[in-house]
Amino acid sequence: MSDVKDNEIQKLSQDEMKKILKDTRQKLAQQQQLIKEKKLPVIVLVEGWGASGKGTLISYLIRDLDPRFFQVVPMKMPTKEERRKPFLCRHMEHIPESGKFVFMDSGWMEETVFDVVDGKCTKKELKQRLSDINVFERQLVDNGYLVLKIFVDVSKEAQNVRLQNLLEHKDTSWRVCKRDLDQQEHRSKYEKAFGTFIKATNSEKAPWHVIDSSEKALVELQVCHLLVDGIEDAIKRNEIPVEIPENPFPLVQMPKLADVPLDKSLTRAEYEQQLKAAQKKLKKLHNRIYKEGIPVVIAYEGWDAAGKGGNIKRLTSALDARGFVVNPIASPDVHEKNRHFLWRFWTKLPKTGHVAIFDRTWYGRVMVERLEGFCSDNDWQRAYNEINEFEKNLTDWGAVVVKFWIHIDKDTQLERFNEREATPEKRWKITDEDWRNREKWDQYEVAVDEMIAKTSTQTAPWHIIQSKDKMYARVQALNVVIDAIEAKMKDCNY
């Protein structure tokens, strides 16, 4: 965790230090242009003891930076509402766009350590969080982020002196909070919790840098140095494709699309009767998941004109309007494209007890983005695992995750396209892009087969829904959702 360079720095004379500091600061200022050019997003996470000088350190680091290219995010403990989302949600929300810095004044470490100390996080939950954090940080790095993690250390005695100094003046006394005093009183508890956290999350791609804060100038020099080196390394690293791990998730065996029959159908009478029954059931379940605080994520993918819209509608009409949201996913906006590809989905996750439906999803990465070349080969090849990890995070959190591929054949699509063009009030549904995509049907089929094969995890398998008969598809999708929620209820003994 400590660098050889740091040891070298400590041996320097005052004058030598001043010179190095000046050079390093100048280099950092110059690097701004570089990170802009190379589209490098930089996260500097500053964690540490109360009154250890985290704020001062950040102020120091940003002094020569153009304020348009960085943001400082001071994180407090999560509110009750924030605790209704996955732990990492609110941290993910603040990651920078490419070419920009975010300095986080504490983050996922402080939240976890304080929760542990406060008895708000069981051992099992801690284990889960640590594992989630490692995945989160590794994904950021793999997606081109520099994640620089600093822990500002201070001895119990030194912290005490600092707190007393702050308390003595009315201009600064309000800066001392209960937590700081608690750290004095229960030092060893915090030490242990910080230590466990650092050990468990000290990864190769995002290592911890523990900095002793006793000499301010030294802290500044060390961190400035780390940042400058980190940026250089990250830019070099980003030129090399990321190694893709073997899939570690147990998978469900799935058929190829070509082998999926499309013969199922319902009569209008069967449809009406079965739809009504399923909707009634789902309505009741929606009440129950709300009461039990179970989040539900439903992902819709499928061929154009397969009937996703109508299918979703039959689902939502069974739900209380206040308890669900449908997220239509188009191509990403600029601020979305400039972040981790899952960012825009992380920020649309439901609260506990709520349902989020995605009309097109994060699987765009391995379909349209792959086929249109909107991302690199390494990006989409890596995405299967990243997506599996994302969904694992959701199911571990307690969410029901249901994924639909709404399926039709090529002839059915043509029929529906033609019908749409012939019907004035449906014409808006069909665009030139749909026709262009249709031309690539075979390429898409290869991509979809690979996607379904590689991301049908046991906890979040794909459901291929035959939709040549839309009525059958609607009832079928409803029943899959019902089964998934009921299985969850049973699992949790609700």
Closest CB 261 distance from a second copy, rounded Å? 29
482 interacts with a second copy by CB under 8 A: no
Question: Using CB under 8 A, which residues numbered 19 to 78 contact a second copy?
Answer: 30, 33, 36-37, 55, 58-59, 62-63, 66-69, 71-72, 74
Binding status of residue 168 toward a second copy by CB under 8 A: no
Report if residue 171 touches a second copy, rule: CB under 8 A.
Answer: yes
Closest approach of Cβ 335 to a second copy, in Å? 6
> Least distance from C-beta 53 to a second copy, angstroms?
12
Residue 460 CB, shortest distance to a second copy, in Å, is 22
Cβ pair 81, 26 in contact under 8 A: no
Q: How far is the CB of 253 from a second copy (least distance, A)?
A: 32
Nearer Cβ to a second copy, position 62 or 367?
Answer: 62
CB of 416 to a second copy, least distance (A): 16
Q: Does 428 bind a second copy (CB under 8 A)?
A: yes
54 vs 392, beta carbon nearer a second copy: 54
Toward a second copy, which CB reaches closer, 315 or 383? 315
**Scanning residues 84 to 103, which ones bind a second copy (CB under 8 A)?**
103
**Among 470, 465, 493, 459, which residue's Cα sits nearest to residue 480?**
465
List the interface residues with a second copy, window 358-387 (CB under 8 A): 359
The partner residues of 102 in beta bridges, in order of sequence, read 43, 71
> Site size for a second copy, by CB under 8 A?
44
* Region of 198-206, 240-248, 332-340, 385-393 interacting with a second copy (CB under 8 A): 332-340
Q: Is 410 in the site for a second copy (CB under 8 A)?
A: no
Minimum distance, C-beta of residue 492 to a second copy, in the bound complex (Å): 18
HEC-encoded secondary structure of the chain = CCCHHHHHHHCCCHHHHHHHHHHHHHHHHHHHHHHHHCCCCEEEEEEECCCCCHHHHHHHHHCCCCHHHEEEEECCCCCCCHHHCCCCHHHHCCCCCCCCEEEEECCHHHHHHHHHHCCCCCHHHHHHHHHHHHHHHHHHHHCCCEEEEEEEECCHHHHHHHHHHHHHCCCCHHHCCHHHHHHHHCHHHHHHHHHHHHHHCCCCCCCEEEEECCCHHHHHHHHHHHHHHHHHHHHHHCCCCCCCCCCCCCECCCCCHHHCCCCCCCCHHHHHHHHHHHHHHHHHHHHHHHHHCCCEEEEEEECCCCCHHHHHHHHHCCCCHHHEEEEECCCCCHHHHCCCCCHHHHCCCCCCCCEEEEECCHHHHHCHHHHCCCCCHHHHHHHHHHHHHHHHHHHHHCCEEEEEEEECCHHHHHHHHHHHHHCHHHHHHCCHHHHHHHHCHHHHHHHHHHHHHHHCECCCCEEEEECCCHHHHHHHHHHHHHHHHHHHHHHCCC
Could you give phi then psi for residue 93, rounded to 5 degrees?
Answer: -55, -30
**Nearest distance in Å: CB 418, a second copy:** 19
Which residues in the 344-363 window bind a second copy by CB under 8 A?
A: 357, 359
In the complex with a second copy, the residue whose CB is nearer, 309 or 461, is 309
Considering the rule CB under 8 A, would residue 398 count as an interface residue with a second copy? no
Candidates 168, 239, 259, 425: give the one binding a second copy (CB under 8 A). Answer: 425
292 versus 450: smaller Cβ distance to a second copy: 292
CB of 294 to a second copy, least distance (A): 15
Asked if residue 321 binds a second copy (CB under 8 A), the reply is yes
Distance CA 2, CA 434 (A): 55
Is 328 a residue that touches a second copy (CB under 8 A)? yes
**The one among 287, 352, 381, 479 contacting a second copy by CB under 8 A:** 287
Cβ atoms of residues 134 and 203 within 8 Å = yes
We find the least distance from the C-beta atom of residue 317 to a second copy, in angstroms, to be 5
| 276 belongs to the binding site for a second copy (CB under 8 A) | no
**Residue with smaller CB distance to a second copy, 103 or 404:** 103
Q: Is the CB of 77 or the CB of 260 nearer to a second copy?
A: 77
Q: In the set 156, 216, 280, 284, which binds a second copy (CB under 8 A)?
A: 284
Residue choice 6, 47, 105, 115 for contact with a second copy (CB under 8 A): 105
Burial of 452 (0-12, 13-18, 19+ CB in 10 A): buried
Compute the half-sphere exposure of residue 254: CA atoms within 13 Å on the CB side of its CA. 25
Distance separating alpha carbons of residues 306 and 480, to the nearest angstrom: 18
Name the one range near a second copy by CB under 8 A: 201-209, 252-260, 312-320, 367-375. Answer: 312-320
Question: How many Å separate Cα 256 from the centre of its chain?
Answer: 29
Return residues touching a second copy (CB under 8 A).
30, 33, 36-37, 55, 58-59, 62-63, 66-69, 71-72, 74, 79, 81, 103, 105, 171, 174, 284, 287, 291, 309, 312-313, 316-317, 320-322, 324-326, 328, 333-335, 357, 359, 425, 428
